């Protein structure tokens, strides 16, 4: 799997992602470039190649002259996420994605979660976007800092979170307005897919439903936008509760 773009490659190096080598545009990249000095510090092989070679290897089409060839993304487990949350001495905050299929939405959600200090993301193995080159690029390198668990069954993951005393809330229409709900405790926030929303069987498995107010004629928001608003409302409440 490739990581493409300067900032994304830098984040990967800093977070000790296993990189086989870094491909660089030999006619564009200065030998005093930040990526080069950082790669040398970590003993990562560098290949200086013509731009057309990088273009042929690029998946996103936006490599900016930097492509890191890595091993496949290393997923965490639900236990890893909970252990990490406990190690921070913070109230656990986990986001679950029910069938997000668009890599741009997925990458944007990862970026928001990382910025907001979410402890981990849980996704299903089937019928959902997995971490790929486009997701990594859209996340602006946030995948290197975010624990992402891939599970066979989201209900089982929710059971594990409930056993760890997290309250699970679906972010969907038809619930309590999010701004009037106390969300300062340990929480798992479930975001539904772009087109169909959350599966009814999963929705009824949650402890409650929180809803974003919609005052226009369109009755839904983009999944990554909904996630961003909900995540930052939880963050706002937690900061005000200190």
Give the model's confidence band at 1: pLDDT under 50 very low, under 70 low, under 90 confident, else very high. Answer: confident
Whether residue 146 has pLDDT greater than 80: yes
Query: What's the whole-number mean pLDDT along residues 30-38?
Result: 84
CATH 3.30.450.80 for domain 2-70: no
Closest among 198, 190, 187 to 220, alpha carbons compared: 198
Structure confidence at residue 201 (pLDDT): 86
Whether residue 131 has pLDDT greater than 90: yes
Q: 128 near 102, Cβ under 8 Å?
A: no
pLDDT for 200-211, tens place per residue? 888 889 999 999
Q: What average pLDDT does the structure give for the chain?
A: 92
Query: What's the whole-number mean pLDDT along residues 181-190?
Result: 96
d(CA 192, CA 197): 4
CA distance to 161, 202, 214, per residue, from 217 (Å): 36, 27, 8
CA distance to 29, 40, 45, 159, 168, per residue, from 34 (Å): 10, 10, 15, 45, 42
Whether residue 23 has pLDDT greater than 80: yes
pLDDT for 45-72, tens place per residue? 999 999 999 999 998 888 999 999 987 8
Give the model's confidence band at 193: pLDDT under 50 very low, under 70 low, under 90 confident, else very high. Answer: confident
Which of the four CATH numbers 3.50.30.30, 3.40.1280.10, 3.30.565.10, 3.40.30.10 does domain 78-241 have? 3.40.1280.10
Structure confidence at residue 229 (pLDDT): 97
Sheet containing strand 2-4, strands side by side: 2-4, 66-70, 19-25, 45-49
Closest among 199, 122, 119 to 157, alpha carbons compared: 122
Higher pLDDT, 194 or 139: 139
Q: Would you list the domain boundaries of the chain?
A: 2-70, 78-241
């Amino acid at each position: 799997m490739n990581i493409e773009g300067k900032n994304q490659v830098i984040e990967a190096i800093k977070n000790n992602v296993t990189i086989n080598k870094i491909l660089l545009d030999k006619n564009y990249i200065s030998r005093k470039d930040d990526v080069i000095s950082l790669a040398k510090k970590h003993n990562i092989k560098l290949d200086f190649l013509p731009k057309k070679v990088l273009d042929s290897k690029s998946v996103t089409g936006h490599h900016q002259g930097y492509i890191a060839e890595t091993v496949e993304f290393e997923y965490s487990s639900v236990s890893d996420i909970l252990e990490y949350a406990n190690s921070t001495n913070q109230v656990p905050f986990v986001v679950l994605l029910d069938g997000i299929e668009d890599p741009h939405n997925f990458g944007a959600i990862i970026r928001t979660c990382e910025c907001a200090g979410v402890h981990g993301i849980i996704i299903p193995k089937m019928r959902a976007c997995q971490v790929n080159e486009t997701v990594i690029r859209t996340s602006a390198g946030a995948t290197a800092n975010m624990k992402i668990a891939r599970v066979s069954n989201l209900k089982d993951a929710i059971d594990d979170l409930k056993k760890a005393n997290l309250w699970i809330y679906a972010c969907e229409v038809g619930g309590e307005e999010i701004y009037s709900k106390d969300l300062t405790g340990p929480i798992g926030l479930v975001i539904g897919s772009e087109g169909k929303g959350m599966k009814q069987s999963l929705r009824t498995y949650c402890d409650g439903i929180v809803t974003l107010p919609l005052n226009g004629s369109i009755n839904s928001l983009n999944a990554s936008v909904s996630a961003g608003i909900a995540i930052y409302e939880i963050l706002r409440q937690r900061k005000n509760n200190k």
